[in-house]
Structure formats: structure tokens, C-alpha cells
Amino acid sequence: MSPQTEPSTHRHFLIHKPYGYLSQFIGEAKKKKLGEFHDFPEGIMAIGRLDEDSEGLLLLTTDGRMSELVRSKKIEKEYYAQVDGLIEDAAINQLQTGVEIGIHNVRYLTTPCTARRLDPAPAFAPRTRKIRDDRHGPTSWVSITLTEGKYRQVRKMTAAVGFPTLRLIRVRVGDIWLGDLAPGAVREVAGFGM
């Protein structure tokens, strides 16, 4: 069998990263990490990152080439953001056309994206740490689909249009959906099909 036709020995996983965990396996001793959820194989890596205070779909692989492909600007990533206040059409339009945000003290104009209000709100399990009380005013949900991934981009985008993000959940990477995968749940898959 030639090297090009040998079956892959790489392994791939989906995980629903909960709030309060780092998207890594080693690091600061006092921080919660992904290795707490499963006995992953040696060489496993997260494809991209979700901030400690973000949740949702995270792809894991032992294949560095797959990681590069998924992180490319060809693959869409969709996020659901719960924002402070009732997001308005003008803000949705601004998100779609691009907004200026700061990335490491440099101003950056985001590329056009897909954004829409989510009504009714998605039915996610409550976050492990309460977001805030209803007495602080209404919230709403928006879907934002990007092909880029700057540092804390979605949070910076919603803040730039006047609706700071309170909760952020990645629901899709390419054609792979979070679906009903529970927080902390891990599913091994044959590949990502991208």
C-alpha cells in the first residue's frame, strides 16, 4: 500500500467546551482544561480557540494539517451571542457590513459577515455561572457567522455596535453543528469532512 492510500492514524473529536475552561490541555495549574473530560490521545490539539468565558463547539485533532485547513478563512464559524439590550436592525446591518474593532492596540475593520437576530432565543442549558439578574434589563440573541477569527472578535463586534456580549456560544464550524452535544460531552468522529 502506498503512503497516499494508507488509512489515517489520526483521531478527531468534537467537544462542547463549557464556560470556565481553557481550550488547551496543558498550562496554568489552577485553570480548568479540556483533558478533564476525556482520556484523549497523545498529540491532541484544539483547532482554534474559544475564550475561557466562551462556550460551544470545539474541534480536536491529532492532525496538524486538518487544523490548518479548519482555521483557514475558507471555513465558516457560527456563533450565538446573548447581548445586553434588544438588538436593533441598524446594529445587525453594521455587523454585516463590518465594524472597526481594536486588536492588540491596532484598529481593524472586520470583513462582511452574516448576522441575524434569533427570535425566539435558543434554548441552551443555563450557564454554570449566572450571567445576571433580569432586573438589569432585557437581553437578546444574535447569530454571527464569520470566516475570520481575530482575538475576542465577536465580543468586540457586538460592543462596537452598542450591544455588549453577555454569553457567547459557537454552534457551527463548517458543516459541523454543536447540536444536542451537552456541555462537557465529547464525541469521537471519523473525520471533519472539510
Region(s) of the chain under CATH 3.30.70.1560: 77-173
Question: pLDDT value at position 1?
Answer: 37
Give tens-digit pLDDT for 50-86. Answer: 999 999 999 999 998 887 777 767 889 999 999 999 9
Q: Which CATH architecture has domain 77-173?
A: 2-Layer Sandwich (3.30)
**Which amino acids are annotated catalytic?**
51
Side-chain-side CA neighbours of 155 within 13 Å: the count stands at: 14
Instruction: For residue range 3-35, list pLDDT tens digits in order.
Output: 454 456 899 999 999 999 999 888 777 888 888
d(CA 29, CA 165): 28
% residues pLDDT > 70 (the chain): 94
Could you give the percent of the chain with pLDDT greater than 90?
Answer: 62
CATH 3.30.70.580-classified regions of the chain = 12-72+175-189
d(CA 158, CA 162): 6
Residues 99-133: tens digit of each pLDDT: 999 888 889 999 999 999 999 999 998 887 777 76
CATH number of 12-72+175-189: 3.30.70.580
